[in-house]
Amino acid sequence: MGSDPPGEGTNAMNCNMIRREHRGPRFAKSSFSYGGGDCVEVAYHEGRIAVRDSKDRHSPTLWFTKSEWRAFTSGVRAGEFDFVD
């Protein structure tokens, strides 16, 4: 960090510029999607996990706390969502 007090000088300007550039979540898809559009995208933003449909990026986003996300991913790994047709 520089010598300028918080809220003054170029450091404050740079921080504000960074905040404007990174306002929303940065979503990512699984590498297993192979560039297809039929998957979900996940982002970590401001302490929460966001999930959205990659086919319709303007549809509602689901938000989870870290503990909710951990419980979900643990369930996936444990096979809780493996349904037999």
Q: Which of 54, 72, 53, 51 has its CA nearest to residue 63? A: 51
Q: What is the C-alpha to C-alpha distance for residues 40 and 59, in angstroms, rounded to an integer?
A: 12
Per domain, the residue ranges of the chain are 25-85
Q: What is the C-alpha to C-alpha distance for residues 23 and 58, in angstroms, rounded to an integer?
A: 16
Question: Can you give the pTM of this predicted structure?
Answer: 0.61
pLDDT for res 11: 47
Average pLDDT over residues 11-28: 58
Segment among 38-42, 50-54, 77-81 with least mean pLDDT: 38-42
- Own/partner contacts of 28-36, CB < 8 Å, gap of 24 or more, are 29/54
pLDDT for res 22: 52
Q: Does the structure show a pLDDT above 90 at 67?
A: yes
Q: What is the mean pLDDT of the chain?
A: 77
